[in-house]
Amino acid sequence: MIYKDGTVTVVSGSSIVKGTGTKWNSNNPLVSPGMLMLIKNGNINYPYMILSVNSDTELTLADKPTFSATDTTYSINLTEPNNNSDAARALVAANTYILYFLQNMDTWMGENGVVELTLPSGKTVKLESIKALQELVEGKADSSAIDEIKETVKGKADAKDVVEISEKLDKKFDKTGGEINGNVQLNAGK
């Protein structure tokens, strides 16, 4: 597998590689120290070992390039199939994605209002938090709303369906304690 998104700029005598349109650090746990990076200068790809991944747009090489190149192509060899380091990288990547998911769930469930989540692809999405959604529906389904639903359904369903829907709705609400206001009608059953 090869990673080659974006372009790189290198300066002769400096081990720092600057990337444009790259995501070497966040959301891409596969790029790591010890990997082989090919940097194109003219018609030749020069091999360098990655010493460290500093950010999404900066790497440090183990050796200093002897040439300068601006916005040139590159490639990073991510895997060598069927070896231990390949398996370890795959496990680390899977674990990292699980951590992203759990962190996003923690944010979504723990904060209030609109929360911004970053997906493993780097895309960000905005969602109403669980607390905000709970506040939106709180107090919306009271007994008058249920009676209104039953009346609406009566004209569109047969009597058997209305009874079944009423029974299911009645099971959803606690009937112990509390206060009854308004008219009360008790049916003896069938």
Residue 106 token pair: 């923690």
Does residue 132 lie within any of the structural domains?
A: yes
- Higher pLDDT pick, 101 / 45: 45
* Number of domains present in the structure of the chain: 2
Does residue 150 lie within any of the structural domains?
A: no
Judge if 59 and 125 occupy the same domain: no
Domain end point (choices 92, 114, 136): 136
Burial of 132 (0-12, 13-18, 19+ CB in 10 A): middle
What's residue 78's pLDDT? 79
C-alpha to C-alpha distances, 98 to 32, 46, 91, nearest whole angstrom: 19, 35, 11
Judge if 20 and 51 occupy the same domain: yes
Judge if 95 and 120 occupy the same domain: yes
Q: What is the pLDDT of residues 101-124, one digit of tens each?
A: 888 888 888 888 888 888 777 788
Taking the C-alpha atoms of residue 176 and residue 98, their distance in angstroms, rounded to an integer, is 42
Judge if 8 and 71 occupy the same domain: yes
Does residue 72 lie within any of the structural domains?
A: yes
Judge if 106 and 69 occupy the same domain: no
> Phi and psi (nearest 5°) for 148?
-65, -40
Does residue 173 lie within any of the structural domains?
A: no
Does residue 55 lie within any of the structural domains?
A: yes
Does residue 160 lie within any of the structural domains?
A: no
Taking the C-alpha atoms of residue 66 and residue 63, their distance in angstroms, rounded to an integer, is 9
pTM of the entire predicted model: 0.47
Q: Are 112 and 128 in contact (CB under 8 A)?
A: no
> Phi and psi (nearest 5°) for 60?
-115, 130
Length of the chain as a residue count: 190
SS3 163: helix
pLDDT value at 150 more than 80: no
> Phi and psi (nearest 5°) for 35?
-80, 155
Does residue 183 lie within any of the structural domains?
A: no
CATH code at 58?
2.40.30
Residue 70 token pair: 């601006």
pLDDT value at 57 more than 90: yes
Across all residues in the chain, what is the average pLDDT? 81
Judge if 59 and 91 occupy the same domain: no
Judge if 50 and 67 occupy the same domain: yes
Does residue 131 lie within any of the structural domains?
A: yes
Judge if 13 and 62 occupy the same domain: yes
Judge if 41 and 10 occupy the same domain: yes
Domain end point (choices 104, 121, 136): 136
Q: Are 149 and 135 in contact (CB under 8 A)?
A: no
For 39, the domain range is 2-77
Domain end point (choices 116, 136, 156): 136
Using N-to-C axis directions, what is the helix angle for 130-137 and 84-110, rounded to 10°?
Answer: 30
